[in-house]
Amino acid sequence: MRVLVTGSSGRLGRSLSAVLAEKGHEVIGAGRNTVGIPGVREVTCDFTDEQATADLLAAEKPDAIVHLAAIAVPFGAPEREILVTNSVLTHTVLAAAADAGVDRVLCSTSPTPVGYSSPDWRPDYLPIDEAHPLRPAHAYGLSKIVMEEAAAMFARTTDMAVGCFRPCYVIAPEEWAGAPTQQGHTVLERLEDPALAAVSLFNYVDARDVGDFVDLWLTAPKDAVTGEVFFVGADDALAYKPIAEIWREYAPHMGEGADALTEGLAAFSNDKARELIGWRPTYTWRSALAEAGVAIEEVPA
């Protein structure tokens, strides 16, 4: 399949594009800059520019688009700019894809619409799944809801298969090996100070596992994925101890439902992705660190 990845030069895009190329897709990486991704042809485009986006799709004729380009971090820009930019980017890509006759578009949103970054937030239940109510606490989370509603609208009103996935905190191979993760700390720092990962409910996912999810989504029957939203997270929590043992100290807002998160269970369910398209994450944080050659000296939380 000829797949165009927007935002391919980013933290997730580099690994995801390389995985899709390894799986035999013809991958065109498109974004504001190029970074040299193995097996991927890279081009530049500003996806807020309607004409440039239309011209790129007319020239490249992709079968599918994986849309990652965004302001990708809460409070990474002024609130209004995040809301406007992420909404406009998504609508521009979806509208151009529909005009160009693209078959499928998969958009990367986020678990943040659920709202766990607000101090007043309480989950309705744990583990959290795709049916959990949305209560965003910032413009980034709100922008991801706009993106999901835009995807649903194009799924209803065009012949394209359109859907979304909500990746948990993405960790790329170089980050397992010691490079700083999105929030600036290393994986070991997040493990050694549970307060760092508690704000995101200890969620994470390996970037290569996200690549596997995207490959399965692209090749699944269209009616199994169109209009759907999927959490894409690891089976386990990014913590030395089970959440059930540490939530009272580090994430009291999770409430007593977190007592069920024993034996390393994650706060976000990935059951829907398994049931609808057969995806399972292959990495745990322990196996990914071991593969990266990083010794784990478990310290009491």
Ligand X SMILES: NC(=O)c1ccc[n+]([C@@H]2O[C@H](COP(=O)([O-])OP(=O)(O)OC[C@H]3O[C@@H](n4cnc5c(N)ncnc54)[C@H](O)[C@@H]3O)[C@@H](O)[C@H]2O)c1
User: Rounded to the nearest whole angstrom, what is the least distance from the CB of residue 262 to ligand X in the complex?
Assistant: 25
* Binding residue for ligand X, selected from 22, 26, 46, 79, defined by CB under 6 A: 46
Closest CB to ligand X among residues 207, 289: 207
163 binds ligand X (CB under 6 A): no
13 binds ligand X (CB under 6 A): yes
- Residues from 204 through 243 that contact ligand X (CB under 6 A): none
Closest CB to ligand X among residues 10, 211: 10
User: Rounded to the nearest whole angstrom, what is the least distance from the CB of residue 15 to ligand X in the complex?
Assistant: 9
**Structure tokens, 32:** 């504001």
Task: Output phi, psi for 85, to 5 deg.
Answer: -65, -50
Please name the residues in contact with 90: beta carbons below 8 A apart, sequence gap of 6 or more.
67, 107, 146, 147, 150, 151
Residue 154, amino acid:
F
* Binding residue for ligand X, selected from 17, 87, 110, 226, defined by CB under 6 A: 110
Positive or negative CA dihedral for 187, 188, 193, 194? positive
- Residues from 55 through 74 that contact ligand X (CB under 6 A): 68-70, 72
User: Rounded to the nearest whole angstrom, what is the least distance from the CB of residue 297 to ligand X in the complex?
Assistant: 25
Residue 3, amino acid:
V
Closest CB to ligand X among residues 48, 219: 48
**Structure tokens, 133:** 């109510």
Please name the residues in contact with 6: beta carbons below 8 A apart, sequence gap of 6 or more.
13, 30, 31, 45, 47, 65, 66, 67, 68, 69, 89, 93
Binding stretches for ligand X (CB under 6 A): 7, 9-13, 31-32, 45-48, 68-70, 72, 89, 108, 110, 167, 169-170, 182
